[in-house]
Amino acid sequence: MGSFKIRYLAAVLIGLIFLTGSAACVAAEKQQLAPLPNTSALETINKQCEEQIGAQRIERISEHVWAAEGFEFASTILIHTNDGNVIVDTSLNTTAARVVKKAMMETAPPGPVKAIIYTHSHVDHTMGATEWAEKDTQIWAADSFVTHWFKQFGMFGRSEMIRGMRQMAYHLSREEVPCSAVGPILRTSSLQDMAEVGPLMPTNTFSGIKILEIGGIKIELHSAPGETHDTLFVWIPDDKTLLAADDYYWAFPNLYTIRGASPRPTDEWIKSIDEMRRLQPEHLVPSSTSVLHGKEIIREILTNYRDAIQYVRDEVVRRANRGEDIDTIAENVKLPPQLADLPYLWEGYGQVDWSARAIYTNNLGWFDGRADRLYPMDHNEAAKREIKLMGGEEKIISLAYTALKDGDPRWAVHLLSKLKDSGLAVGDLAGKINKMLAQGYRQMAADISNTNGRAYLLESALELDQGPPATTNAKLPMETVASMPIDLVFFNMPNRLDPEKADGVLESVRYVFPDLNRQFTVTIRNRIAEVVEGDSLPGTPDPLAVITVDSLTYKMMALKMVVPMSVFVQGKVKVDGSMPDFVTFMSRFQI
């Protein structure tokens, strides 16, 4: 093959890599149920860190159950049977999983790992599986687990990653954000460790209720949508022990997460807690925060917890039906005192006003009935006119400076954000605004005990001062890559098209995967990229090229696990058609 074709093929294959996107128990004694004291935000967070997270420890919960608490965001739980152990959730990465496993094996009974159970698809519960799994270990999860696990890295994966790192205070000191309300925070020094991950896909899935019999112990898996659509809880009848996943923790539930995610199924969450109540557990092990002991106290807490969710939902419905707009609803929905004053419903993780907005939009969409919001003025132009009416850029700067000095940061941030939106702040003034905004965010954070909101403000201030922080890409094990649906690769392709480079273009390329007996055609048309599996749709132009490759090789290229030229030289990739046209086609997508 001539050097021209080799150079072009190298460029083409390198271009393929962007297609997938970026990738000691505190028992619930009665005295703990006293109302939260009126303390500063930081004191409240420190109290939570001490009482509900605490030091790293392995605790025996009941006859057959041990829990690793305080190690990281999600606890790992071990169920011991006569035939071996069952591991429930496996840490955020393999480094953390090794630490947890070592501590667990020094305390809990040894034995082969007969099964792993994922309570849900969030990464802090799944990424350390390779440290626990053995040759014949079964891995159990809900039927929809795989879809939801890979969705985290899908269309909005990069947005969720950026917002998630802000929410989780990865670059902040412990003095600023001592912990998340529901677990310890991994700091910047752990970012590289976070790249070492070992998720494994389930070998077995179920819906409804699945009963496992392992070593003479009955282990029940119950579908329990809440924190995610694929959440399950685990019930061990002999021990009267309930592993509640993240459908309960010692804080108001995160009915909406500011990192962005699929809508939380609020109504199903209530039903899932009700199913837990029916079982009347004597020990309740949440995946985050400390264990609860005692049937009566668990029943009381679960009842109040689900009532808080229902109250917020019902208030949103009532107010919406009265015609209130979404801002008015969010500002006025509050938990009643008998719930608001309970320490396990403090708004340290979830937040009522965020939840109200999510419940509204999940059911009614973005439009809240106000006619003035149907056809609003361009917000940048409106900001520009408002700034001029208020006296211009320097006047706004002066007003914001006074607000910051007087301890009114929300007003300062409002003014400065409007000035940024106006586009009137350029040059040195733009830099000055960023410094003042950072100061405003920090002042606001000082009064915020919601650890997600506090961290987001402080991380945003840090970015304004120093620029975006470094990130790292996860290094997936081969088993995970092999189980990755090929559809995910193509699902992300359309949103990476550069519409300016696609103007007036009508072209297609076909991808053939003989090992799957599947093929996909990607067509650029009307500034969009259409992906069709199987036969092309009527009107699709003949493909510029046909790429034939096995699915694992293609996914490895997409994840940068192999050098593209090497797989071509090995004959694993075949390109039929016009190479220059194919390269031009690929150049229309953003890397």
- Give tens-digit pLDDT for 42-52: 999 998 888 88
Per-residue confidence (pLDDT) for residue 591, from 0 to 100? 64
CB 377 within 8 A of CB 282: no
Phi, psi of 299 (to 5 degrees): -60, -45
Per-residue confidence (pLDDT) for residue 72, from 0 to 100? 85
- Residue 386's Cα: distance from chain center in Å? 37
Give residue-wise pLDDT tens across range 447-468: 999 999 999 999 999 999 988 7
Give residue-wise pLDDT tens across range 354-413: 999 999 999 999 999 999 999 999 999 999 999 999 999 999 999 999 999 999 999 999
Spatial separation of the C-alpha atoms in residues 326 and 332, rounded to whole Å = 10
Spatial separation of the C-alpha atoms in residues 153 and 158, rounded to whole Å = 8
Spatial separation of the C-alpha atoms in residues 487 and 20, rounded to whole Å = 10
Average pLDDT value for the chain: 88
Per-residue confidence (pLDDT) for residue 589, from 0 to 100? 87
pLDDT at 237 over 70: yes
Reading the block at residue 391, the tokens are: 């006296």
Give residue-wise pLDDT tens across range 101-129: 999 999 999 999 999 999 999 989 999 99
The boundaries of every CATH 3.30.1050.10 domain in the chain are: 3-20+476-587
Most confident stretch, 17-21, 386-390, 483-487: 386-390
H helices of 333-423, where?
A: 337-340, 352-364, 379-389, 393-405, 409-422
Which amino acid makes up residue 546? Answer: V
Tell me the three state secondary structure of residue 135. coil
Q: Which of 198-212, 251-265, 398-412, 477-491 has the lowest mean pLDDT?
A: 477-491
The boundaries of every CATH 3.60.15.30 domain in the chain are: 38-299
Q: Provide long-range contacts, Cβ within 8 A and 24+ apart, for 291-297.
A: 291/25, 291/26, 291/27, 291/59, 291/61, 291/67, 291/69, 292/27, 292/28, 293/25, 293/27, 293/28, 294/27, 294/28, 295/240, 297/28, 297/30, 297/33
Which residue's structure tokens are 């192999």?
562
CA distances from 488 to 151, 152, 157 (A): 8, 11, 12
Strands 138-142 and 113-117: parallel
Note the CATH architecture for domain 377-466.
Alpha Horseshoe (1.25)
Sign of torsion over alpha carbons 6, 9, 11, 14: negative
CB 126 within 8 A of CB 89: yes
- Residue 415's Cα: distance from chain center in Å? 31
CA 452-455-457 angle, 5° bins: 110
The boundaries of every CATH 1.25.40.880 domain in the chain are: 377-466
Helix (H), strand (E) at residue 574 = strand 573-577
Per-residue pLDDT band for 190 (boundaries 50, 70, 90) equals low
DSSP string, 189-243: GGHHHHTB------SEEESSEEEEEETTEEEEEEE--SSSTT-EEEEEGGGTEEE
Per-residue confidence (pLDDT) for residue 23, from 0 to 100? 35
CATH topology assigned to domain 3-20+476-587: Nonspecific Lipid-transfer Protein; Chain A (3.30.1050)
Domain 38-299 has CATH 3.60.15.30: yes
Per-residue confidence (pLDDT) for residue 483, from 0 to 100? 81
Spatial separation of the C-alpha atoms in residues 352 and 178, rounded to whole Å = 22
Which amino acid makes up residue 27? Answer: A
Q: What is the pTM of this model?
A: 0.87
CB atoms near residue 327 (< 10 Å): 12
Spatial separation of the C-alpha atoms in residues 324 and 80, rounded to whole Å = 53
Give residue-wise pLDDT tens across range 44-101: 999 888 888 989 999 999 999 999 999 988 999 999 999 999 999 999 888 899 999 9
Spatial separation of the C-alpha atoms in residues 172 and 441, rounded to whole Å = 14
CA distances from 109 to 88, 283, 518 (A): 15, 20, 47
Tell me the three state secondary structure of residue 558. helix
Tell me the three state secondary structure of residue 423. coil
